[in-house]
Amino acid sequence: MDDRTGDNSAISRKGFRSIVRGALLLSLVLALGTSGYMAIEGWPLLEGLYMTVITITTVGYGEVRTVSEPGRIFTVFLIFAGMGIMAYTLGIVAQIMVEFQVRDLIGRRKLGWKLKNMKDHYILCGYGRIGEVIAHELKANGIPLMVIEQDPQCKEKLRSRDIPYIIDDATMEDVIIEAGIMRAKGLVTVVLSDADNLFITMTARGMNPDLFILARADQVATEKKLIRVGANKVVMPHLIGGLRMVHTILRPAVTDFFDIAMQDRSIELEIEELKVREKSRLNGVRLMDSGIRQDMNVIIVAIRDKAGDMSFNPSSDVAMEAGTTLIALGPAGDLEKLKHILRGD
């Protein structure tokens, strides 16, 4: 699994060049043999080619015509040259096949080792356009993940990005088990079929009641069903895309701001959610007394309490209690500093 597409490509290019070289040498021997018989024996093209082929392949069909003494001497040299070229070409083909089989076997063993040692990871079902974006962002943020994708054509892309994967059907229970469902932190299902997303969600929830499940839906009715069978959150891409386009028209400045804050990695500004822990020195401290705004140049946009209720633009008198989550906006370095403080590091 740890082999890289670059390595495979290098093998493929090297093997391809060797095969082409062997094919060219073989073609050269065929051309020389055919032209030699035509010149020495006066045979037509087809008979010269036929005699050359049965000579270098040593099939032993016999001579098509009586060969003269110069022709027999030429045949001896042709046999040695042809057999060498044939052995070289067949050897190259066999070597490439063995190399790929060995690498595939090693890859499966390494994947099995990774699966056994992976925990607190996210299982991503589906590596289409949406799944690819999710995988990229999770990996960029250092979050371990395992991809389950049915299309074998995604294998090389996943290998090149060093993302562990299983090429199989995510709706099958044994595949979910192989992906480490009992040790996983969460599951994201974004396959194309609403029915499959529903089945995957239901299966995963039955196997791991504590799992966080994020599911994709295309229909409003499916959203309700996904929540009913165990999804924690449901996202409807077409709805989000439509609203985003409308907001771009109605509130372009707001849209640009969130694009910068959420997507532009060239600037320091970020939006982050930070949880208050019991041992944090800010546990029970009011916002006005925390020094967050003054010392770290961070703005608290909202606070979510333990029950999940969100309070936007909280008052400075609000106390930060353990278990609440702060939605903070500010430079990446200051947010990281605040994260450590809220964890009590």
Indicate the pairing of strand 285-286 with strand 269-275. unpaired
Please compute the mean of the pLDDT values over residues 311-328 and round it to a whole number.
90
pLDDT at 190: 96
Do 50 and 64 touch, CB atoms closer than 8 A? yes
Q: Residue 54: pLDDT above 80? A: yes
Backbone angles phi, psi at 308, to 5 degrees: 95, 0
For 282, residues 6+ apart whose C-beta sits below 8 A from its C-beta are: 276, 290, 292, 320, 341, 342
**CA geometry: angle 282, 288, 291, nearest 5 deg:** 60
Alpha-carbon dihedral angle through residues 222, 225, 231, 234, given to the nearest 10 degrees? 30
Highest mean pLDDT out of 36-45, 104-113, 179-188: 179-188
Q: Residue 243: pLDDT above 80? A: yes
Question: Which whole-number Å values give the CA distances from 299 to 22, 273, 330, in the listed order?
Answer: 68, 12, 6
Distance, CA of 125 to CA of 166 (rounded, Å): 10
pLDDT in tens, 96-113: 776 666 565 555 545 544
Question: Which whole-number Å values give the CA distances from 209 to 46, 185, 187, 205, 276, in the listed order?
Answer: 74, 11, 12, 5, 25
Banded pLDDT at 24 (limits 50, 70, 90): confident
pLDDT at 6: 38
Do 40 and 74 touch, CB atoms closer than 8 A? yes
E-assigned strand segments in 67-224: 122-125, 145-149, 165-167, 186-189, 212-216
Which letter, b or e, does each residue of 64-79 get, where b requires 16 or more Cβ atoms within 10 Å of its Cβ? eeebeeebeebbeebe
For 265, residues 6+ apart whose C-beta sits below 8 A from its C-beta are: none
Q: Which of 13-27, 99-113, 127-141, 282-296 has the lowest mean pLDDT?
A: 99-113
Tokens read off for 36: 């030699």
For 172, residues 6+ apart whose C-beta sits below 8 A from its C-beta are: none
Q: Which of 152-156, 217-221, 254-258 has the lowest mean pLDDT?
A: 254-258
In the Cβ-directed half-sphere of 97, how many Cα atoms lie within 13 Å?
A: 6
pLDDT at 267: 59
For 185, residues 6+ apart whose C-beta sits below 8 A from its C-beta are: 120, 121, 122, 211, 212
The three-class DSSP label of residue 151 is coil
